[in-house]
Structure 1
Amino acid sequence: MNVKKFSASTSRDAWRQVREALGPDAVILSNRTINGMVEILALAGEDMSSLAEPAVEKEALSQSTLAALTPKQRPESGQAAGLAGALAAARQQSNPQEAATASASAELAQVMSEIRSMRGMLEAQLTEIAWGSQQKREPAKGLVMREMLAAGFSASLARYLVEKLPAGEKPEGAMNWIKSVLTRNLAVVDNEAEIMGKGGVFALVGPTGVGKTTTTAKLAARCVMRHGAGKLALITTDGYRIGGYEQLRIYGKILGVMVHSVKDETDLRIALDEMKNKHTVLIDTVGMGQRDKMVAEQIAMLSGAGTKVKRLLCLSATSSGETLNEVVRSYQGSGLAGCIMTKLDEAATIGSLLDVAIRQKLSLYYVANGQRVPEDLHVANQHYLVDRAFKLKRETAPFLIQDSELPMVMANTARSMNDNELREVRIG
């Protein structure tokens, strides 16, 4: 076994060295403090598996023993019967060995599982202790953590940024630094020329009830005001929802634009082929839950339409971070052109949506904050959104994080610090 020693001034730095050198499956053998330095003895996960090799050798030996008993030429009947009996006896003797091997493998797997569990608990406890003492030494970091959590950002992103926070920052300076990093990593399309100027075919996709039809109407109104009704075409694939087509048709009638209804990929191909002379085509799709198998079929239909269709994912600001992450992963498919934030006016916090957009590297096109067409649709501005996120932080007592609870919250993020999405966040 190749046991390695890691030393650092703090537990957090020592744990980081272990993860970087041996990976997330490293096995911790000891953890102690010597002359003010934290010393950890650790073993790579693959080295632990070598303990199973003696059991494997036993199994190989039993097979070779059986092979040695196999005759090289056809024996006489009496010899064959005797040899068959010898083989049967040998197999009976090898069965206990094979059973012992299987039992040893199962025990080793259980030991490894318990070691991983113990390591996770130890990491969480060390993190809780470290954050408890850090709150006293650096109160600005504790303040930033509470502000980010109250704004709806995930604990893992908050902890990642707080650990990168320049030393000695005062609370106000720390918050300004956090806002600047978030702004730098939030991609927005702040020039309407991407849609209104260049034109093309855009499909608004997303779960039921996120405001796709209303947002489609808002975009349609902006197109008509800029290019005229003759340059716009509207398509709906929503043949399931009662009144789905009728709602868009009413908007189209007000704008002087005909609405076409399609059922499948063939219909969509024909419709798009007839609309080649249009500057902009907007497709309002049927809403589907992110776990619905038909999401993949919808993506395939839009991708196989014979014309490049840019998909814009409508994300409700009222949804939780976990739900938004699921939605993005489900609707990602072969790639999204970007997303539109809806229901800003209904959201208590928007940090979760900004968090997901940063992690998934989604370009934010528009922000919808009401039902009025077309007034309540605005080009995304990252400075405004980040500032708004902290102004919309949770104010109700049941959801506020207390100082005594913060170390516990941070302890549960120990595993998530290996998140590849976080490593791509640009600090400088």
Structure 2
Amino acid sequence: MNVKKFTAPTSREALRKVRESLGPDAVILSNRQADGMIEILALANDDAASLTMPAPHSPMAGPAPSLDLDAALAQRNERLDARLEPHFDDAAPRLVPGLAPRQAQPMQPMQATQPAQRPIQQASQQATRRVVASPSSYATKTAAAAAAAPSAPVQPRAPQLDADQVSAMVASAVASAKQNAAAEMQDMMSEIRAMRGMMQTQLAEIAWGSTQSREPHKAAVLREMLAAGFSASLARYLIDKLPAGRDTAESMRWMKTVLTRNLSAMANEDALIDQGGVFALVGPTGVGKTTSTAKLAARCVMRHGPDKLALITTDAYRIGAHEQLRIYGKILGVMVHSVKDEADLRIALKELRNKHTVLIDTVGVSQRDQMVTEQVSMLQGAGSDVKRLLCLNATATQETLSEVVRAYQGSGLAGCIMTKLDEAAAIGNVLDVVIRHKLNLFYVSNGQRVPEDLHLADPAYLIDRAFKLKRDVAGTQYLDSELPLLMSGQAGLAGHNTMREVHLG
């Protein structure tokens, strides 16, 4: 073997050298670039052929095995006959050339001294005859026996999946990927909202800090509204809309005018007492529904007489609740009916359809109780146009009152009654809820006397009373450094919800 190396600046020139030296049939062993030159290792065609020839005495130099099954069986039979031929010569008589065969002599009886050899010889001769008679069948049986012999254990093949299984696996993978992507997107959106809230808080705090120093009258109005019980979101929105060039007194007058204009109230009792209908007083426990029902019943009796009024109670839970309303009805001369469910209410309203006014005293249910939905559904499915009046406790917090309104809203409230006005330290909280939820304020209740302590709602009086109740603590309730931080947390809420609910006029 003669391997030669050729170098040239280009591949074309190196191949030309190989062709000139070794001929066109040369074998290229390697081609690489070294030191800016093309280096080729080549070998002549004859030397490459010698590499493929095996050594004379190596196993690879033998003849190639034959794949012909018939030829292989024939060779096997010949080798088997060669091994069995000496045994055949011992058992059969030899024939000498040129001599006639000897006549068959009758077989002499075997000697008694050889009884044990007879069965052995017979078995040997029979086996020999079978092998000689059909060597091919013997080889075939031998091959079949070899095929039937136990072979090495075969590794089980992997189960094949059909199209439905593959589609199910792909769908499961896609669903899992979508779920993971949705979870990651939700986490990312939560982080973005948190960052947005932090930025809004900081920017609003900076803005209110500069507003407090540049326009001190806005800070004074803000203190007044917060002390009266109004929400920071409503206060921020109205102060942002406050006209410029006004002092504190003029700003307060403008603020009261806007609040009075947005507080919807019933102008006179004709819409309720003279028009009549079915009214249900609803609300949580202890807000004064039964007392307010008795006060309204007394006004109806004084206007139309006891024959035009009917009282219904659904309060079968509290001990003495039915008796309390029955005592009021006995004083007024009005029959009180008790119902338990929607079917009873439907029957009672059908029997009382000739009455001018029907007042329903409902059971008190917490705004977070599932029974609120059941009660609203019962009143809406009673078969009559039942107008629901929500009783709002003036002593409750603004967050609690908002929950009550949302729970009892249903398909819509006809109006509301403000109760326990005499017990409230501030009433801006309930007025704020009435304004933001666009409720129609019918009456205000300020005591337990029937029917004296029930009055028509006067928006201007209520707004002025809200600011007078807490005027003495308006300047000391919050520090100057606390106002920007307090208002910064309501920046997003004030810009979206309150703007649609308050009209500046």
Q: TM-score range by the shorter chain?
A: 0.7 to 0.9
Cα contact 2:218–2:239 (8 A) shared by 1: yes
| RMSD (Å) for aligned C-alpha atoms | 3.0
Give the deviation of 1:179 after TM superposition.
Answer: 0.6
Using the size of structure 2 for normalisation, the TM-score is 0.64
What is aligned with 1:180? Answer: 257
Q: 1:288 to 1:83 in 2, by over 3 A?
A: closer
| Structure 1 partner of 2:70 | none
Moved more, 100-109 or 389-398: 100-109
Identify unmatched segments of 5+ residues in structure 1: 1-79, 85-94
Aligned-partner Cα distance in 1 for 2:458–2:378: 32
> How far 1:119 moved relative to its partner?
2.2
Q: 1:413 aligns with which of 484, 490, 495?
A: 490
Provide the residue aligned with 1:191 in structure 2: 268
Q: CA deviation at 1:421?
A: 4.3
Aligned to 2:209: 132
1:293 pairs with 2:370: yes
The residue identity in structure 2 corresponding to 1:242 is: I
SS of equivalent to 1:419: helix
Quote the offset at 1:299 in angstroms.
1.0
CA contact (8 A) 2:298 2:332 kept: yes
1:23 matched residue in structure 2:
none
Q: 1:121 to 1:239 in 2, by over 3 A?
A: same
Residue type of the alignment partner of 1:245: H
1:415, CA displacement in angstroms? 2.1
| In the alignment, structure 1 residue 218 sits paired with structure 2 residue 295 | yes
Q: Partner of 2:100 in structure 1?
A: none
1:267 aligned partner: 344
Q: Is the 8 A contact 2:227 2:474 kept in 1?
A: no
Match of 1:302 in 2: 379
Distance 1:323 1:99, change over 3 A: closer
Distance 2:482 2:439 in 1: 32
**Aligned partners of 2:281 and 2:293 also within 8 Å:** yes
Give the counterpart letter for 1:338 in structure 2: G
- Aligned pairs for 1:244-393 (under 5 A) are 244-393=321-470
Cα shift at 1:160: 0.4
Aligned position for 2:481: 404
The one-letter code sitting in structure 1 at the alignment partner of 2:313 is: T
2: CA distance between counterparts of 1:269 and 1:365? Answer: 26
- Deviations along 1:155-195, one digit per CA (max 9) or x if unpaired, are 00100000000011110110111111111111101210011
Asked if the contact 1:303/1:309 (under 8 Å) is kept, the reply is: yes
Q: Distance in 1 between matches of 2:301 and 2:388?
A: 21
**CA contact 1:202–1:311 (8 Å) conserved in 2:** yes
Task: For 1:201-212, list aligned pairs within 5 A.
Answer: 201-212=278-289
Using the TM superposition, give the Cα deviation of residue 225 of structure 1 relative to its aligned residue in structure 2, in angstroms: 1.1
Structure 2 residue aligned with 1:8: none
Q: Equivalent residue for 2:133?
A: none
Distance 1:240 1:83 in 2: 68
Measure the CA separation in 1 of the matches of 2:453 and 2:176: 70
The amino acid that maps onto 1:197 is D
Please list the CA deviations of residues 295-339 of structure 1 after superposition, one character each: whole Å capped at 9, or x if unmatched: 111111111111111110000001111111110111011111000
Q: Structure 1 residues 233 and 123 mapped into 2: Cα distance closer, same or farther (>3 Å)? A: same
Distance in 1 of aligned mates of 2:352 and 2:181: 69
Secondary structure at 1:283's aligned position in 2? strand
2:499 matched to which residue of 1?
422
Question: 1:422 offset after TM fit, Å?
Answer: 3.2
* 8 Å CA contact 2:306, 2:334 repeated in 1: yes
Following the alignment from structure 1 to structure 2, what is the Cα–Cα distance between the partners of residues 206 and 265? 18
Instruction: Classify the secondary structure of the residue corresponding to 2:315.
Output: coil
Q: Is the Cα contact below 8 Å between 1:201 and 1:281 reproduced in 2? A: yes
The 1:252/1:134 distance shift into structure 2, 3 A limit, reads: same
Given the superposition, is the C-alpha separation of residues 106 and 259 from structure 1 closer, same or farther in structure 2, using an over 3 Å criterion? closer
Residues 133 and 269 from structure 1, CA distance in 2 versus in 1: closer, same or farther, beyond 3 angstroms?
same
Query: How is 1:145-160 mapped onto 2 (pairs within 5 angstroms)?
Result: 145-160=222-237
State the AA in 2 paired with 1:140: H
Offset at 1:277? Answer: 1.8
The normalised TM-score by structure 1 is: 0.75
Cα offsets for 1:321-369 (capped at 9, x unmatched): 1111110111011111000000000001111111111111110000000
Amino acid at match of 2:278: V
Give the superposition deviation at 1:423.
2.1
Find the aligned partners of 1:233 and 1:376 in 2 and give their Cα distance. 21
Structure 2 CA distance for partners of 1:266 and 1:135, relative to 1, 3 Å:
same
2-side partners of 1:191 and 1:415: how far apart?
38
Structure 1, 263-272 or 205-214: larger mean CA deviation = 263-272
Q: Which structure has the higher relative contact order (CA within 8 Å, separation 6+)?
A: 1
Distance 2:324 2:484 in 1: 50
- Write out aligned runs for 1:15-34 (5 A): none
For residue 113 of structure 1, what is the amino acid of its counterpart? Answer: S
Q: For 2:264, what is the secondary structure of its paired residue?
A: coil
Q: CA deviation at 1:106?
A: 6.0
Select the structure of larger CA radius of gyration: 2
1:111: Cα distance to partner? Answer: 4.4
CA distance in 1, matches of 2:416, 2:362: 14
Judge conservation of contact 2:237–2:495 (CA < 8 Å) in 1: no
**Which piece of structure 1 moves more, 321-330 or 272-281?**
272-281
Instruction: Output the CA distance in 1 between the equivalents of 2:193 and 2:501.
Output: 27
In structure 2, how many angstroms separate the alpha carbons of the residues matched to 1:98 and 1:246? 62
Q: What runs of 5+ residues in structure 2 fail to find an aligned partner?
A: 1-156, 162-171
Following the alignment from structure 1 to structure 2, what is the Cα–Cα distance between the partners of residues 321 and 280? 33
Q: Is 1:231 aligned with 2:302?
A: no
> 1:214 Cα shift?
0.4
Q: Deviation of residue 129 (structure 1)?
A: 1.2
Q: Give the drift of 1:273.
A: 1.4
- 1:253–1:114 Cα change, 3 Å: same
Indicate the percent of aligned positions where both proteins have the same amino acid.
68
Offset of 1:245 from its aligned partner?
Answer: 0.4
Count of aligned residue pairs for this structure pair: 346
**Residue type of the partner of 2:449?**
R
CA contact (8 A) 1:348 1:394 kept: no
Q: Distance in 2 between matches of 1:289 and 1:83?
A: 62
How far off is 1:424 after superposition?
2.9
Give the C-alpha shift of residue 98 in structure 1. Answer: 11
